[in-house]
């Protein structure tokens, strides 16, 4: 089990700041933002920031003095052979192949969609970024390569997708520190012709050329092979998976957990008599402290939906929708949650082919227990989420599983607000369930084409409903994915 899954939020913030130092974002002599600023950035208490900074100080990464603040003391230019540095590297290099593969799987279709929707001004800007990449040397090769894809994602105006990409790049960028300059130059020389094809695809609006160029440079083949070399070289065995730190989801962790579990009960993922996740299971899934997980379990009991007896797990005793009082919802919180919901649905929509392909690939290899398949067949659900959840669990990549699980949790949380709608979406919901039935049968029969078609219909309608509802609630919903 990873450090991030077993430790509290202080460790989570510590790891995030540590990556900034390791990747050179924070250099020797830089002053960290104040505790208050960091607490606002990470949406945690100042005491959590203090603990995280103390952990950095214990490892001689920063020093704190009265009147000067907290200063970075770790020098990436000279301390790269320190025992601490190599311990940190060796524990994470085992997951670099999985992270790079997950990056290519998740973002390929997203990048192609963004490229097809670029205007003439965008293309001029990307030509300049391409020119910068041609001239780049040393570690700047990695910086320029990543900058192009970040700028491309920027055109989607989807903060959630951009945040995920930036954090994955930050994670993988850590390993560029140990890349030999010759290997980075080799990668640049190899990738330039393919990027040229990709640019031609952007200018001509050619899907074939976009796929040809992106498939090599950003695909699940040569790109991943580069990372395997470094994994083999360091002989890493231990894996510390990449974890997506969704900063916008951290404003009220306890309520987020409660909303997700209540929604799972409502839609039938947890039936009456079923156990809900234990204290440790909640800590691992949501990456929270024991205190937060315990508070969430206590609040769930107070709803009357679950009951826990001494020494036993909490079980579901009622299944009904928890009504939301529209008047009690903070407007800003609702708008933030709805924007996250819309962005998460967009991510599912753009990557539905990968979602289907990777789930079925894992299902065929795992040949999951008949009991799970039987449960999906016999239990009456009121949402596609149980099928989504089952498909996520079948995926072999731990990074990809984590990404989709986080997206699912955002969608579960945000979908609560539809209860406040003053518009009847029931006709479209019935169409969703019709397509869900087709998707469920296709999944059980492992019919990839039918599953892709029916699941796309489900996600498309859900996305359109969310766009409509966001507009009614004054939440920006542009640009809409067509």
Place of tokens 């909640």: 282
**Cα 416 from Cα 215, distance rounded (Å):** 38
Q: Give 276-320 pLDDT, tens digit per residue.
A: 888 888 877 776 677 788 888 888 888 888 888 777 788 888 776
Q: 8-12, 218-222, 407-411, 454-458: lowest mean pLDDT where?
A: 218-222
List domains and CATH numbers for the chain.
3-79 (1.10.10.10), 94-234 (1.20.120), 249-316 (1.10.10.10), 328-472 (1.20.120)
Q: Which 8-state DSSP code applies to residue 275? A: B
Q: Are the beta carbons of 315 and 307 closer than 8 angstroms?
A: yes
Q: What is the mean pLDDT of residues 182-201?
A: 84
Burial of 423 (0-12, 13-18, 19+ CB in 10 A): exposed
- pLDDT tens for residues 234-282? 555 545 556 565 554 444 667 778 877 887 787 777 888 888 888 888 8
Q: What is the pLDDT of residue 385?
A: 78
* Least confidently predicted of 83-92, 246-255, 445-454: 246-255
Give pLDDT, residue 299.
86
Torsion, Cα 407 107 177 60, to 10 degrees, reads: -10
pTM: 0.76
How far apart are the C-alpha atoms of 472 and 143, rounded to whole Å? 41
Cα 366 versus chain centre, distance: 24
pLDDT tops 70 at residue 179:
no
Q: Are strands 306-307 and 315-316 parallel, antiparallel or unpaired?
A: antiparallel
Rounded CA gap, 208 and 463, in Å? 27
* Structure confidence by residue, pLDDT tens digits, 119-131: 888 888 988 888 8
Round to whole Å and give the CA distance between 241 and 403.
11
Amino acid 476: pLDDT: 86
Sign of the alpha-carbon dihedral angle for 399, 405, 409, 412: positive
Percentage helix, strand, coil for the chain under 3-state DSSP, each rounded to 5: 70, 5, 25
């Amino acid at each position: 089990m990873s450090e991030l899954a077993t430790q509290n939020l202080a460790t989570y913030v510590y790891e995030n700041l540590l990556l900034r130092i390791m990747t050179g974002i924070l250099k020797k002599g830089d002053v960290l933002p104040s505790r208050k600023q960091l607490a606002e950035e990470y949406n945690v208490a100042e005491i959590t920031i203090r603990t995280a900074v103390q952990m950095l100080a214990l490892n001689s990464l920063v020093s704190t003095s009265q009147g000067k603040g907290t200063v970075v003391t770790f020098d990436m230019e000279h301390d790269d052979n320190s025992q601490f540095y190599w311990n940190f590297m060796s524990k994470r290099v085992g997951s670099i192949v999985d992270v790079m593969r997950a990056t290519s799987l998740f973002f390929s279709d997203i990048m192609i969609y963004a490229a097809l929707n670029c205007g003439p001004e965008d293309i001029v800007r990307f030509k300049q970024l391409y020119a910068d990449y041609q001239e780049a040397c040393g570690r700047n090769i990695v910086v320029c390569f990543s900058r192009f894809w970040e700028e491309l994602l920027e055109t989607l105006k989807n903060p959630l997708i951009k945040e995920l990409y930036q954090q994955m790049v930050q994670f993988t960028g850590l390993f560029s520190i140990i890349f030999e300059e010759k290997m980075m130059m080799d990668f640049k020389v190899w990738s330039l012709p393919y990027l040229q094809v990709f640019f031609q695809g952007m200018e001509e609006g050619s899907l074939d050329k976009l796929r040809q160029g992106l498939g090599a440079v950003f695909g699940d083949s040569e790109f991943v092979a580069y990372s395997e070399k470094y994994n083999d070289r360091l002989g890493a065995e231990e894996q510390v998976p990449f974890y997506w730190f969704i900063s916008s989801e951290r404003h009220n962790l306890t309520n987020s957990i409660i909303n997700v579990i209540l929604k799972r009960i409502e839609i039938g993922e947890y039936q009456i008599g079923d156990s809900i996740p234990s204290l440790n299971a909640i800590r691992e899934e949501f990456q929270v402290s024991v205190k937060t997980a315990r508070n969430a379990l206590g609040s769930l009991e107070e709803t009357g939906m679950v009951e826990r007896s001494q020494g036993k797990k909490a079980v579901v005793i009622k299944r009904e929708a928890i009504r939301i009082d529209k008047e009690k919802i903070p407007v800003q919180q609702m708008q933030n949650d709805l924007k996250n919901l819309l962005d998460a649905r967009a991510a599912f929509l753009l990557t539905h082919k990968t979602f289907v392909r990777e789930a079925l690939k894992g299902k065929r290899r795992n040949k999951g227990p008949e009991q799970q398949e039987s449960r999906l067949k016999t239990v009456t659900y009121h949402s596609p989420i149980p099928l989504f959840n089952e498909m996520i669990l079948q995926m072999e990549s731990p990074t990809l599983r984590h990404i989709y699980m986080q997206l699912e949790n955002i969608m579960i949380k945000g979908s609560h607000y539809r209860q406040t709608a003053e518009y009847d979406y029931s006709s479209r919901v019935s169409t969703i369930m019709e397509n869900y039935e087709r998707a469920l049968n296709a999944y059980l029969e492992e019919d990839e084409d039918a599953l892709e078609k029916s699941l796309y219909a489900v996600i498309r309608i859900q996305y359109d409903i969310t766009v409509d509802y966001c507009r009614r609630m004054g939440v920006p919903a542009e640009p809409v994915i067509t």
